[in-house]
Structure 1
Amino acid sequence: MSLDSAALPSAALPSALVFDFDGTLIDSVPDITQALNETLAHFGRRALTVDDVRTMVGDGSGQLLRAAFAATGAALSDGQVPAVLQHYTDTYFSHSAEPSCLYPGVVDTLTRLHAAGVKLGLCTNKPERIARKLVGLLGLGHLLPVVAGGDTLPVRKPDGAPVAWVMEKLGATAAVMVGDGRNDVLSARAVGIPVVAVSYGYPRMPVSELGADIIIDRFADLPGALARLPA
């Protein structure tokens, strides 16, 4: 039986899932690095490597830029941030996205979960307009109809409000968070929902120390992990 045709036991699944994006559904660091380096060059800074940037993502574009500029010279002042942020987000938004950035098993697994009646939403610290564009380019729009970006609300993860907002828009009173970092765990705990962590993302700390309920090594393992969550 193929992955696409394998039925999921709906009784063992939550009513809703809220996903992180970068490091969970997509390997975005190469594209982020390209856009970031264009911005750094525009403002007279040296380029960063993919490995450099991998340690900086997860806290939103503003914090990413502060870290990148601090690593390449003088730190950004508060007054400099808006112009730099605008250049970066415009640059990133102008880029396309290749399906190869999706981690293995993501499309098939999301499709199966959707077919089983699970409501799916996205909660990311990436700017909303960029997240929505990428979701569309990657053909995930019908699977992830609700998107909260890092600028959708006045606060972002690790605050629980964006996760709660996604749940509300999905019409869900309960859910499970799926992510790769501490911000995902903290935001989920803030609204009292379980967390499944992936081991392959950008956690910036040992995954075993994130405090997730279950850790999976492959996205395709998610349905089985959901069935093992404590009641």
Structure 2
Amino acid sequence: MTAPMAADPKAVVFDLDGTLIDSAPDLHLAANLVLRDEGLPEISFEQARSFIGKGAGVLISRVMEAVGLGDDPEEHARLLAKFMTHYEGEPANTLVYPGVVDALARLETMGCAMGLCTNKPGAPTRIALEHFGLDRFFAATATADTLPQRKPDPAPLHHVVRALGAGSALYVGDSEVDAETAQRAGLPFALYTGGYRKTPLAELYHSYTFDHWDELPEIVSRHFARVEA
């Protein structure tokens, strides 16, 4: 179980896709199953990977653009619904990044309150967390369905921080969207370099970077030591 939270806990909030899990293979497969059923050309893995970050709706918009379908709202809604029927099952090809579970367990023993802030829809988020046994770590979650706003709007991140009972938090993510979200929320940002980022590090807002999850607990420890000093 998640460690009991102090009155003003050390809070760490995480992105999901490209940060805790590599879901690009399943997103790529679901998109291509839709395209195949429609008799349309399939997209490459690299295309699918580059479309991730702003939620399923934006991903389908980018898929439609890539195959020359335009942006008709009714067609978008129809294809998005088909996509979700493929994507809401068990994450057969998704993997947890190496070291994630151990890092979260170490943060738990350090007394950190942990939350999740993702643009992934609620149902596949819940399925993925339960499938990998990650749900036990998170005391608060914001998905694409939680609020009207989505990242990079800071509202979902603020929502999670408030739910954790924290005055502030460290946000952990992998992408341009995550960096912008943290910056707009006025929160420090730890950037995982092994995710879906396309922009050079020097051009992104960040407070810390890490290449492997083994490094994160020490970053968190140093960060809150500074905060408390």
Post-superposition offset of 1:153: 0.9
Letter in 2 for 1:154: P
The more displaced of 194-203 and 48-57 is: 48-57
Q: Which of the residues 77, 101, 107 maps onto 1:113?
A: 107
Q: CA RMSD in A?
A: 1.6
Larger mean CA deviation between 39-48 and 116-125 belongs to 39-48
CA drift at 1:48 = 1.5
Q: For residues 207 and 201 of structure 1, what CA distance do their matches in structure 2 show?
A: 12
Amino acid at match of 1:79: E
Work out the CA distance in 1 between the residues paired with 2:71 and 2:125: 25
Q: Which residue of the partner structure matches residue 86 of structure 1?
A: 81
Render the CA deviation track for 1:119-175: whole Å, top value 9, x for unaligned: 111111111111111001110111123221123211100000000111122222211
Partner of 1:212 in structure 2?
206
Look up the match of 2:161.
167
Residue deviations 1:154-213 (CA, integer Å, cap 9, x gap): 110000000011112222221100001121122122222100001111112113321101
In the alignment, does 2:52 pair up with 1:65?
no
**Structure 2 regions of 5+ residues with no counterpart?**
1-8
What is the TM-score when the length of structure 1 is the normalising length? 0.88
CA distance in structure 1 between the partners assigned to 2:143 and 2:128 by the alignment: 12
Matched, 1:77 2:72: yes
State the match for 1:133 in structure 2.
Answer: 127
Name 2:5's counterpart in structure 1.
none
The one-letter code of the counterpart of 1:178 is: V
Closer, same or farther: CA 184–28 of 1 in aligned 2, 3 Å: same
- The one-letter code matched in structure 2 to 1:44 is G
Stretches of structure 1 that go unaligned for 5 or more consecutive residues are: 1-13
TM-score, normalised via structure 2 length: 0.89
Opposite residue 208 of structure 2, the aligned amino acid is: I
Aligned runs of 1:149-228 on 2, under 5 Å?
Answer: 149-228=143-222
Would the aligned equivalents of 1:45 and 1:73 in 2 still touch at CA under 8 Å?
A: no
The 1:42/1:76 distance shift into structure 2, 3 A limit, reads farther
Identity across matched positions, percent: 37
Distance 1:151 1:44, change over 3 A: farther
Amino acid at match of 2:172: V
Q: For structure 1, which segment, 76-85 or 28-37, has the greater mean C-alpha deviation from structure 2 after superposition?
A: 76-85
Distance 2:103 2:222 in 1: 17
Instruction: State the shift of 1:73 in Å.
Output: 2.2
Q: Which runs of 4+ in 1 moved over 4 A?
A: none
Paired with 2:141 and 2:42, the residues of 1 have a C-alpha distance of 31
Partner AA of 2:132 in structure 1: L
* SS of aligned partner of 1:82: helix
- Partner of residue 3, structure 2: none
Give the deviation of 1:97 after TM superposition.
4.0
Shift of the 207–95 alpha-carbon distance from structure 1 to 2, 3 Å rule, reads same
Contact kept in structure 2, 1:124 and 1:148, CA below 8 Å: yes
Does 2:132 align with 1:122? Answer: no
